[in-house]
Amino acid sequence: MNSSGDSMAQADDESLLRETGASRDTSTSRDTGTLGKLVMLLDLVTHADVPLRFTDILALANQPRGTLHRQLGHLVAEGLLELDAEGRYAPGLRLLDFASRSWARNEFRLIAAPHLASLHRETGETVHLGVLRGSSIIYLDKVEGHQPVRMYSQIGNASPCYCTGVGKAALSVLSPVKLNELLSALHFNRFTPATHVKAESLLAEIGEIATAGHAFDREEHEAGICCVAAPIWSDDRSFIGGVSVTGPAYRLSMELLQEWTIPVQVTARKIMDEMRVRLGPRR
């Protein structure tokens, strides 16, 4: 295909991504065999904001039509995806069973829960616990504020690491090699006028966060929503995440968020201390 055709195809893909809410990180084929391809399809469908038709998935998955049809059929047969009467694919109810069992048995979440509750009592705002997976933050727990407001974050949801407080806090404790690898593969999407769209500006802020020990989300993912966050990590950096206090910008001034940096960091340290005791090496 010539360069003009390539540009048109890329524009069509970008338009489809915007319309469906699917992530480009999950729209490329994985060279991990059949299982990896099935997981990639689950990623596409579960992260889309609207149910996807077969043609939508075909355009994003980079797989042969026959192979894709067969794989989607397997996922539907296993209850991992559902196909409605209009030919649209949506997450299956079996995923809810997997998710609920995983959430209920997650020892890290159980360790963090009382500390999240204490931080919530101190601030009165929404408290999040998240873990870094790839270039996304997965929310493991959430304690709603006394005056909850509508926001994207829900338990199990994934948010980009480069425009969330927990995400930037987590990036600040990565090794330079891991950080550079992650940033080089990032696809930046401008969610608000405040969103980082270049690795250079993000990297500069991450350096500041590493020094300060806390991060801010200045309405970078959702307009009107801001937060202060602190990183959480295991000694070998195999586990990296963060905790945050989040709320509407009209209630949470930067002065107030600055005051909350200390309780947020204290909460993160308490969680890490208990992790070392309860999740450390077993004899």
pLDDT range class, residue 128, cuts 50, 70, 90: very high
Q: Which CATH superfamily is domain 106-278 in?
A: GAF domain (3.30.450.40)
Q: Which residue has the higher pLDDT, 224 or 15?
A: 224
103-112, 161-170, 182-191, 267-276: range with lowest mean pLDDT? 103-112
For 237-251, the pLDDT digits (tens) are: 888 999 999 999 999
Please give the Cα distance from 3 to 55 (Å, whole number): 24
Q: What is the domain partition of the chain in residue ranges?
A: 3-93, 106-278
Residue 198's pLDDT is what? Answer: 93
3-93 CATH: 1.10.10.10
For 180-221, the pLDDT digits (tens) are: 999 998 989 999 999 999 999 999 999 999 999 999 999 999
For 39-51, the pLDDT digits (tens) are: 889 888 887 878 8
**What stretch of H or E contains 244?**
strand 240-248
For 84-116, the pLDDT digits (tens) are: 888 999 888 787 667 656 655 568 888 899 999
**pLDDT > 90: what percent of the chain?**
51
Residue 102's pLDDT is what? Answer: 62
Instruction: Indicate the average pLDDT of the chain.
Output: 84
Q: Which residue has the higher pLDDT, 22 or 95?
A: 95
pLDDT range class, residue 234, cuts 50, 70, 90: confident
Residue 6's pLDDT is what? Answer: 47
pTM beyond 0.85, yes or no: no
**Phi, psi angle pair for 281, to nearest 5°:** -55, 135
